[in-house]
Chains A and B, each alone.
Chain A
Amino acid sequence: MKYRTRNWSLILGALVLVTLASGCKNNKGNKVPPPPPKAPTATLSADPTSIQRGQSSTLKWDTTDATDVTLDGSKVDPSGSQSVSPTQTTTYHLVAKGAGGTQEATAQVAVAAPPTPTPTPAPTPPPITDEQLFAQNVRDIFFDYDSSNLRPDSQQALAQAAQLIKQKGWKVQIEGNCDERGSTEYNLALGERRADAARQALLSGGVSPDSLKTISYGKEKPQCTDSNEDCWQKNRRDHFSLLH
């Protein structure tokens, strides 16, 4: 079967070639004056053609035989693309002028208003688990090299976290970590100091001692394993876990 199909396609191909060849011969036979300059062509498209307000769409255009191409009045390359973010439905005009005339093309980008929040008087907050709430509000804090001093932004973050921890009655494990430099055993002690620094700050924020637990992982549980300052900084941290 396969063999026969291929034979048919070969025959078809040959026919096409013959047809094309004869067409050429006909054209050459006509002695006509040189053709006038070709009329320019122009195409313009938008992708996507409809957006929501605030989103963007990409205009693409292509022209031939044009010497002067403008998009909405500004001169542009004969072909190209451009990102647009109209605030309302807009029709873009491409004008291609050449020796053979002028060609225009248009493309429309429809803009829809973003969906307005349903104006219910008391919007119910999206359902969120304690774990999500904890992760959003009790974030890692970071330290300087060989230091367990809290940075000002960490103190602020811990003061806010303390309020939520108290309000929710959470039990929290504070995990002190170090970068890969320094000695294994001493880093356990340093991690202990980092965990304790956060613990003291949370206690000052009114959290009960019973709801806080500390552990040092030293340099045993890095979250980043490259040997550079970026990575070391990521590892010099207190991480907080919600205990159950």
Chain B
Amino acid sequence: MSRKTQLAIFALILLLPATHALGQDWIRTGTNRGAVVRLADADFKGATGDPQTGPLATVFNQTLWNDLDNAGIFEMVPKSFYPLQIPGAPGEMKLDAWANAPVNAAMVTFGNLGVNAGKVDVQGWLYDAKNAQFPQVLGKQYREDATPDNARLIAHRFADEIILRLGGGIPGIAESRIYFVSTRTGNKEVWVMDYDGANEKQVSKLGSIALSPRISPDGTRLAFSGLTRDSWQIMMYSTELGRTVAFPRYAGDNFSPAWSSDGSRIAFSSSMHSGLSEIFIADSSGANARRLSTGKGDVSPVFNPKTNGQIAWVSGRTGLPQIFVMDADGSNVQQMTKEGYAVSPAWSPNGLLLAFSWVRHYGPGVLGGQDIYLMDIASRQIVQLTHDAGRNDFPSWSPDGRHIVFQSNRSGTEQIWSVLADGTHLQQLTRQGRNSQPNWSFK
């Protein structure tokens, strides 16, 4: 089986529930990478003479195009094919010009943006180009303070509406965020950025070393590992209060936290019991910590977000690290990988796949490529997502299960990259300092 066929099958597995959920023809085909929705995205027209209108429209149009292009469910019609007369409102829309060659769009989005008295107003529409009688699929209005950040925010929101409507009912990710570790202040701290790499902001101010950021499912709390004077401890940061909040200190070193998808529990690695790292599970408050695994060198737990009934993690119990899965009470341990150096499991939102980092062909003195792989848990079938470019580690799934963000040193330094789960649309998100351990928000 060719790699492309394998990836296509994985893409189908990925999107299967959505395909079942919705019956309309073009949505079903839309989930198949072979016949994606052909979408035209006309630049939104400036609606007022305010000097801010032009710059904000530029930001908005770039962001909307990137969001739709990144979504992985559209075939974007290049703007050079578009009619000369770009509509800014339904009254100016001549549907034939978009439905026919050379555009041949199935869907077209258009609208206008104007700045008035410090506010930016956006009106946006999504039209079904083939439905002359009732073309309107979406009509939306937005109003925010006139800033570039808000122009990008509105574009993200409108993109998410379109993706929700055309992408099989799965919410878009344009408003999702990626937490990561950056060295740009001189030491490792947790930072956050928009899903497209824009709007980077420092979160933690530990002054020592912060690792393994994991945002809670509701986005209000960030768990991470922090180096204190004498040990590693799980730290909890409130995104609402903008400061760290109390979390119990346990004996020994405590690191690599993970949230259950209902936000009620946290799994982490701790040496509190034996002096060696083992997987523990606790309430989200940190209370009632209990030991799940008894291996030597157990780290990087992650819940099956669909059921929260299983945990995948990394163990060195058989030699080099391998991926294991157990029930959330510690029973039913299964070894998922049996060769090479396998670390950093990430469970797909639909519960069907594990992404992980693997040096598959490991030999004495030789370190081959460290790449991101996907495993279909039921069949144990594995496909390779990244190929022979540096060390790739710490995959994390987007909330829609269509994208994976990961760290790679393929550009020469460790940076954050994202890729569609079918291996296409690879893009670099960070460039400043060294950046690692990305964690995609749950929504």
Contact = CB atoms under 8 A, between A and B. Distances in A.
A234 interface: no
Nearest to A195: B275
A181 interface: yes
A190 interface: yes
Contacts of B367: 181
A192 B212 CA distance: 17
24 contacts: A146-B341, A173-B230, A183-B321, A183-B393, A184-B436, A184-B437, A185-B343, A188-B211, A188-B225, A188-B253, A188-B299, A189-B276, A190-B297, A192-B277, A193-B296, A195-B275, A196-B275, A213-B230, A214-B271, A214-B275, A216-B232, A216-B277, A217-B227, A220-B188
A195 B230 CA distance: 14
- Contact-residue size bin, chain B (C-beta under 8 Å from the other chain): 35 or more
Nearest to B341: A182
A185 B276 contact: no
Interface of A: 146, 173, 181-186, 188-190, 192-193, 195-196, 199, 213-217, 220
A185 B255 contact: yes
A186 B253 contact: no
B307 interface: no
A182 B357 CA distance: 10
Contacts of A189: 269, 276-277, 297-299, 314, 316
A196 B273 CA distance: 12
B209 interface: yes
A220 B209 contact: yes
B227 A220 contact: yes
Residue of A182, A184, A195, A213 ringed by the most chain B CB atoms within 10 A: A184
B343 A193 contact: no
Contacts of B277: 188-189, 192-193, 216
Nearest to A212: B275
Nearest to B301: A185
Contacts of B437: 184
B256 interface: yes
Contacts of A196: 271, 275-276
B213 to A, nearest CB: 12
B344 interface: yes
Contacts, number: 92
Q: Which has the most chain A C-beta neighbours within 10 Å: B188, B298, B300? A: B300
Task: Name which of B212, B225, B253, B269 has the most chain A CB atoms within 10 A of its CB.
Answer: B253
Contacts of A181: 367
B297 A183 contact: no
A188 B231 contact: no
B316 A186 contact: yes
A189 B313 CA distance: 12
A214 B393 CA distance: 27
A142 to B, nearest CB: 17
Contacts of B253: 188, 192, 214-216
Nearest to A243: B230
B276 A192 contact: yes
Interface in B259-313: 269, 271, 275-277, 296-300
B276 A146 contact: no
Contacts of A215: 230-232, 253
Contacts of A220: 188, 209, 211, 227
A203 to B, nearest CB: 10
B275 A186 contact: no
A188 B256 contact: yes
A213 B275 CA distance: 9
B320 interface: yes
A181 B298 CA distance: 18
Contacts of B188: 220
A190 B437 CA distance: 18
B344 A183 contact: yes
B255 to A, nearest CB: 6
Contact of A184 (B211, B227, B320): B211
Nearest to A174: B275
Contacts of B225: 188
Nearest to B277: A189
Contacts of B394: 183-184
Nearest to A176: B253
A185 B232 contact: no
A135 to B, nearest CB: 20
A38 B186 CA distance: 73
Given A186-B314, A193-B277, A216-B232, 12 more contacts: A146-B316, A173-B230, A183-B344, A184-B212, A184-B393, A188-B256, A188-B299, A189-B297, A189-B314, A192-B297, A199-B275, A214-B271
